[in-house]
Amino acid sequence: MDRFDYRGGRLYCEDLAAADLARRFGTPLYLYSAGTLRRHYRRLASAFAAVEPLICYSVKVCPNIHIMRVLRDEGSGFDIVSGGELHRVIVSGGDPATCCYAGVAKTDDEIRFALRAGILLFNVESEAELENLRRLAAETGTPARAALRLNPDVDPETHRHITTGKKENKFGVDLERAERIFRDFADAGTGEHVALTGVQAHIGSQITTVKPYVEALEKIVALIDRVRAAGHEITTLDFGGGFGADYETGEALEAEAFAAAILPVIEGRGLKIIMEPGRFIAGNAGILITQVQYVKPGGDRTFLLCDSGMHHLIRPALYGSYHHIWPLEPGEDFVPEQRTRDESFPGTQAVDVVGPICESTDFFAKNRHLPPVVRGDYLAVFCAGAYGMAMASEYNSFPRPAEVLVDGAQARLIRRRGTYDDLVAPEKDV
């Protein structure tokens, strides 16, 4: 799952004690394991080796350029959704020619930037976007390659806010409309500027069963067969990402389980395969460390008031998401055997873990059983590598946390802690 484990009653990230790093770098602190990033990338590459996929790490999940460099060195391409993410790829030393550009509302400036950079593929979401891409490609004299994003109307059996492949979602086009788009595009003779030779689909996130992928891909390959039979060239299939992470021990499927179900549907069709994993690679690779400022009895509960909250990890407030939380140094009597929401062995106490933000939704956990905790103790919020720092804000004028990357016995700062000056810098001298 990851390289965060307890030894002698203390949490370690690879070869380093997490509490030592919290004292060295301060809190709140995002702490990442390079070994976990590599392990998950390699498991995917090995599991799907039969189709030699281009694995494009989803930058939106955890966009720190140093994280991206770890994956670039493994051979990863990048899934991007904005011009800013393309800029991150370039700054990280990634190759734009390995980038797939998704997103439903790309601006003209973003498209021009991507055309100049020479990205691999635009994932277009509508007829209007395809026409605009054709216009800008002609205007700049830069041919573009495109895949049409499909909406296969499949239930990914995940949280309703992170589904992207059902007909009520804003993403992609339905399969019947897709056939018309391929036909109309060919009839218009616009292939001189845009090569529409791919299809793409991304049905959701934190998916922990193979059924939705099989259902979606069976529909998609049938569409590919029909489009090819009508005389249109399809060379690329990008089936997105969405594989789940282990928020609880054993929640997510292994890469091999997904591959066993997916490969029989897509092998032998003469298609270049692209995957866009994010959470599967980075989710378990990061934790958020927060320090308890006060222990406050209140009514029928006890609050642990921490120096981090929804402004640094919004998922519990936004999605009601579960993150395992445990002290960095609980002692040997309180080392959990696994990460589960039902953890309540003798000696624990039910508490609410909350932050400093002036919102009642500012919490990491409610009615959670934890070992005895006092002011100054450090807590780890596990599986925070995906959509953690990426969605952090400066709400209530709290600076953003620092980020540290551990690789074996080495730890290095990969983003400095925000300062009060950072809060006002964009507002000064304007």
* pLDDT per residue rounded down to tens, the chain (430 residues): 799 999 999 999 999 999 999 999 999 999 999 999 999 999 999 999 999 999 999 999 999 999 999 999 999 999 999 999 999 999 999 999 999 999 989 999 999 999 999 999 999 998 899 999 999 999 999 999 999 999 887 765 544 544 443 344 446 788 888 888 898 886 655 568 999 999 999 888 788 899 989 999 999 999 999 999 999 999 999 999 999 999 999 999 999 999 999 999 999 999 999 999 999 999 999 999 999 999 999 878 899 999 999 999 999 999 899 999 999 999 999 999 889 987 667 889 999 999 999 999 999 999 999 999 999 999 999 999 999 999 999 999 999 999 999 999 999 999 999 999 999 999 997 8
Using alpha carbons, select from 283, 293, 377 the residue that is nearest to residue 322.
Answer: 283
Torsion, Cα 370 373 378 381, to 10 degrees, reads 20
Do 415 and 403 form a contact (C-beta atoms < 8 A)? yes
Do 286 and 384 form a contact (C-beta atoms < 8 A)? yes
* Amino acid, res. 379: L
358 catalytically annotated: yes
Location of structure tokens 């100054």: 376
**Cα–Cα–Cα angle for 100, 402, 289, rounded to 5 degrees:** 105
The confidence score (pLDDT) of residue 169 equals 47
**Cα–Cα–Cα angle for 330, 331, 334, rounded to 5 degrees:** 70
The confidence score (pLDDT) of residue 191 equals 64
Q: In whole angstroms, how far apart are CA 48 and each of 210, 244, 255?
A: 14, 16, 8
Residue 140 three-state SS: helix
Task: List helix spans (H) across 203-250.
Answer: 211-229
The confidence score (pLDDT) of residue 164 equals 43
Assigned CATH for 34-281: 3.20.20.10
Helix axes 211-229, 255-266, angle to 10 degrees: 20
CA distance 237 to 220: 9
Catalytic position from the list 13, 99, 100, 358? 358
CATH fold match for the domains 4-32+283-427 and 34-281: no
Question: DSSP class of residue 230?
Answer: T
CA distance 153 to 197: 22
Q: What are phi and psi of 239, to 5 degrees?
A: -100, 20
The sheet carrying 16-17 orders its strands as 4-7, 10-13, 16-17
Do 388 and 62 form a contact (C-beta atoms < 8 A)? yes
CA distance 204 to 244: 10
* Amino acid, res. 198: G
Using alpha carbons, select from 94, 1, 98 the residue that is nearest to residue 43.
Answer: 1
Do 415 and 20 form a contact (C-beta atoms < 8 A)? no
CA distance 81 to 141: 23
CA distance 5 to 319: 27
Q: In whole angstroms, how far apart are CA 276 and each of 246, 265, 271, 430?
A: 18, 18, 16, 40
Read off the tokens for 270. 């003469």
Read off the tokens for 179. 């056939």
Do 324 and 339 form a contact (C-beta atoms < 8 A)? yes
For the chain, the domains span: 4-32+283-427, 34-281
Do 68 and 50 form a contact (C-beta atoms < 8 A)? no
Task: List helix spans (H) across 249-397.
Answer: 255-266, 279-282, 315-319
Torsion, Cα 166 172 174 176, to 10 degrees, reads -160
Q: Does domain 4-32+283-427 fall into CATH 2.40.37.10?
A: yes
The confidence score (pLDDT) of residue 140 equals 95
* Amino acid, res. 294: Y
Cβ partners under 8 Å of residue 220, min gap 6: 150, 152, 175, 199, 201, 237, 239
